[in-house]
Amino acid sequence: MQTTAPATTIDDVLERLRQIIRHAEATGNTMGYFAALYHRVTAEVKHKIAEGYFDDGARMARLDVCFANRYLEAYDAYREGRPVTRAWQYAFDAAGTKRYIVLQHLFLGMNAHINLDLGIAAAETAPGEAIASLENDFKKINTILTGMIDEVQRQLAAIWPLLHLLDRLALRTDEKLAAFSMGKARDAAWHNALELSRMNGTAAAASIDALDAKVIDYAELVARPGPLATTLFLLVRLGERGSVTRKITILDSANTL
């Protein structure tokens, strides 16, 4: 897959993600896990814009495209051997190994995209004083993401059936933790957006570089979470059903666009 021009509309983003998913399914590449999840989120944002959910739908569309292009451009650059941010380098390198479970791959992609890319995209979409007017719409995304947790969990349970048992034993504590963790990550991204929106080009570049290094610390926690969690992840990996292609297909099963 060769580099293409940056996306200019949400439909462009959805098509590019669909291309990545198809390529990953054909080649058994675990990069398709995150792409399938991201496609679902993007489609939901598109629906919400059409429904008038956001205060400024046109601005949210611009943010969505700006945000997505950071991932799409990183994906192209990595496949062509060009430099990418450390956060995406870590996530994409992980896709080339067999040691991680599906959930770890998803978290590594989310770490790079939310903890690094989201604040940058928000600051670029609403620079300077304009950033304040974006806050309400920015935070509305949390509600969308929280509403998708159960659906994603059902897809993961189709890959690892014992997840149903753990879900019952946890009495939905896992959903609460997922929502909390997602909210914390997006809160941090909003803080980053506020800081970056006030900076000039040189200062912003230095701040982004420092943030990129910090995000690697989170990636390390996902990839090397300690002996107990590592043992649990090993058991999950042994219990995951199907090929990489099959797992991508399951994660992509809710996508209708």
Backbone Cα Rg of the chain: 18
CA distance 138 to 249: 30
Given a contact cutoff of 8 angstroms between Cβ atoms, the answer to whether 19 and 68 are in contact is no
Which residue type is seen at 99? R
| Cα–Cα nearest to 1, from 17, 15, 19 | 19
| Contact partners, residue 99, CB within 8 Å, separation at least 6 | 237
CA distance 204 to 194: 11
| Contact partners, residue 248, CB within 8 Å, separation at least 6 | 21, 24, 25, 32, 33, 36
- Residue 163: predicted pLDDT: 60
CA distance 85 to 168: 39
Residue with the two structure tokens 């929106």: 197
- Residue 28 burial (CB count, 10 A): 13
- CA 67, 69, 70: angle at the middle one, nearest 5? 70
- Residue 171: predicted pLDDT: 41
Residue with the two structure tokens 């599906």: 102
Q: Which residues of the chain have pLDDT under 70?
A: 1-3, 149, 162-183, 255-257
The pTM assigned to this predicted structure is: 0.89
- Residue 176: predicted pLDDT: 44
Where in the chain are the domains? 10-251
Q: What are the tens digits of pLDDT across the range 193-252? A: 999 999 988 999 999 999 999 999 988 988 888 887 778 778 788 888 889 999 999 999
Given a contact cutoff of 8 angstroms between Cβ atoms, the answer to whether 87 and 111 are in contact is yes
Given a contact cutoff of 8 angstroms between Cβ atoms, the answer to whether 87 and 220 are in contact is no
| Cα–Cα nearest to 175, from 187, 163, 193 | 163
